[in-house]
Structure 1
Amino acid sequence: MDEWYDAEQITRWTQQAWSWVQAEVLVLPNLLQLLAALASLVLAAFVAPRLRRFLERVAPPGRWQRLVAALAPLLLPLLWLLLVGVAWQGALLQGWPARILEIFASLLTAWVVINLASMVISNPVWSRAVAISAWTVAALNILRLLDPTVALLDSVAMQFGAVRISLLTLTKSVFALAILLWIATVVSELLEARLKHSPNLTPSVQVLFGKLFKFALITIAVLAAMATTGMDLTALAVFGGALGVGIGLGLQNVIANLFSGLILLLDKSIKPGDVVAVAGTYGWVNTLGGRYVSVITRDGIEHLIPNEEFITTRVENWTHTDTKVRLKIPIGIHYNSDVERALELCEACAAETPRVIDDPGPICQLRNFGDNAVELELRIWISDPMNGINNVRSAVLRRIWRAFREEGIQIPYPQRDLHLASAVPLEVRLAREQGEEAK
């Protein structure tokens, strides 16, 4: 440990360091470059706060203001990097020494990349990997070892037919895959957040679409990263096509229902809460699934109807564009009853029913002179078919029944006339009991 405190050794090191500073730093070209770097810092420090206030003033409210607030800490290093880069390129164009400016530019670039990655990437592993990569590239560039390192990585290669894969290609592919996977993850998270705020999608459908989007984006990222290696993806496309055909044939109905569900979600012809009638089932839509639509009837039974039926068959959607529904109620009265009074009573009773709306109001018409009765038809409108139809029909008929009894309007029974053929004589015989015959 005494050698670390040797005065002569320390003095020798100090003299060597001072000699290096005099030979490499305290020379006019290098001093001018240092002065340019410091002047760039002062100018950036002067402009950065003013630029920040200007951007905060002109940025629209919302996401743009949040973006300006997030990028505010990077304004100073970005402006410094921009000014140093301009000075560096100007020195190169004039043929002046620019080594120190190049070092400043490399360090500032690494600094900006690392800070930007720490702001954008929440995963500490990815953020640390970006920081290590940025500092490594900056150090190699400063030591002028970046080009030799690239040449060395490119020289270590293997030939696979017409494809040449080197360490440089693999390194680029790894970096490309990491960046593309990160972008795919961020985009899929944004899409999932948008889907969660969609009022027309159930949680299960939101998760389904989120997973499908994420899988598609990750697949695209992997294929793009493989393409950077120069690999021919034709064979992979042929294999994927054959696999897709096999899966499509085996899961034809499942895929048909899946795509039918996609169509229903896109055109919004069926939504949760709609009152529909399909395949003999009447009820309201509870949920839209990836394979089926849940329809609950008035008796509480939940029917899981495949999505394909809503595409290939005729569907009655009572609340697609308007919730108003007209109901037709047939009524028969006796021929001896007052028809005009019966029409008035039917309309009045319908108007008194709570669920019957006033616009358009109820109307009763004489439809036909039937065999047994004068046939009337009462037409009413309701705006809540999801609450049932038969119950409001029953409520109207009960009011009409009471009103008809009070007004003496009769509802006739079915009548049948029996005609006997009179052309054939009838033979009448009287039969007595055996006891009476013995007397």
Structure 2
Amino acid sequence: MEDEWQALLGELESYLKALEAQVMNLLLPSRLYQIAILIGCLIAAWLLRRWIGPRMHERMRQLEGWPKWRLRVLVVIHRRLQLIFFAALAWAATFTVRLFTNFPSRSYLLELVATIATAMLLVSLAARLVRNAMLRKIVTWALWVYVILFYLDLLDETAALLDSAAVSFGDFRLSLLSVLKALVVTAVLFAGARFLTSTVSAQVSRNEDISPSMRVLIVKVLQVGLYAAAFFIGLKAVGFDLTGLAVLSGAIGVGLGFGLQKVVSNLVSGIIILMDKSIKPGDVISLGDTFGWIETLGARYASVVTRDGKEYLIPNEDLITGQVVNWTHSDNYVRIDLTFGTSYHDDPHKVRELAVQAAQRVERVLKFRPAVCHITGFGDSSVDYVLRFWIRDPVEGLTNVRGQVYLALWDIFKENGITIPFPQREVKVLPGSEVVARVTPPGGSAPAPGEDAPA
């Protein structure tokens, strides 16, 4: 460990000396006027951005009919106006100094800074390919540091310094340089894997010959395979011994297996669901009090969206072990039962006919599967019926179609004089009984039992 610290301190001293030499080279008295020119270019770029930026932004707000890709290009340019102006002014100053002087050293610093500014501009534009905002910033700053070190001729010294910052575990040596290389290679491979996954997923999603559940399964297997390959290839590319990693991962896997039983169970349940096609994206299901349609099937959970816009994330294990009602497993046809009652004075034959006609008035009720109405019993206050009809779009909701049929029943019963009764009670006074009415005056007390109410 002491030898490693001595090596690190030696490399750090060498690096600081190389950096000092570069700085002193750039700050020679003959180049002070170039520094003044660059400061002037920076101030001019800032003023131009302050003057042109708001006008360009206002002009962009008026270009509503332009294609989106052109507007995106303008937004990218607008956000980098100062860097664009600075690079352009630095190059203009470089060519102007070259035009009036015959010594290349008179424009060396100007050309160097202009080149670095141009490279940083190209890096920031290329980084737009990274969609994640946080990751885009990390990539941009990392490439900017690389560009600056490259043009200042400090790459070798920086690599030596990073390689000296290392720790050893027996025969295995892990340095900061190898970690950075592993991160860069793995990130590039992950980006390639993500691009391939999105491309293949788009192709699979458009293939109507493959069932929805198999499409999801193919995409998930492809994602796991490509990302795993990118990870292990990235480690192998920088010299990691995967044999030791395999032994270590096996030991860790045994420990994690006990702690992550639910996670593993959900992963396996998700694969089973995708393979047996019991539930697939677009199916309408009921699970307990949750009724909605499957939006997506993930590796750990299924996303169920209800009619009120809520999105429930149901673990895959619950879909395997629990009782799930899949309204659209084999087809989209759903039968709905409505119960109602009518007065004993109404003809039940006519009531049944009118109920079927009311159901046929609703647009979502299927006509080729006729509705039926049956008497289910004689209640205390009404004759009870059940009306059964079919729909084939349960994803549009069940409560609303029930309400529409109930309104149609109300309307057709009103048109034909059918009465919908409510509970009633009859009180009969037996012969020889006496009925006494007692009235309590406002603000007074009730008469005592046996006393007549005041007249």
Provide TM-score, normalisation by structure 1.
0.48
Q: Which is greater in Rg?
A: 1
TM-score by length of 2: 0.46
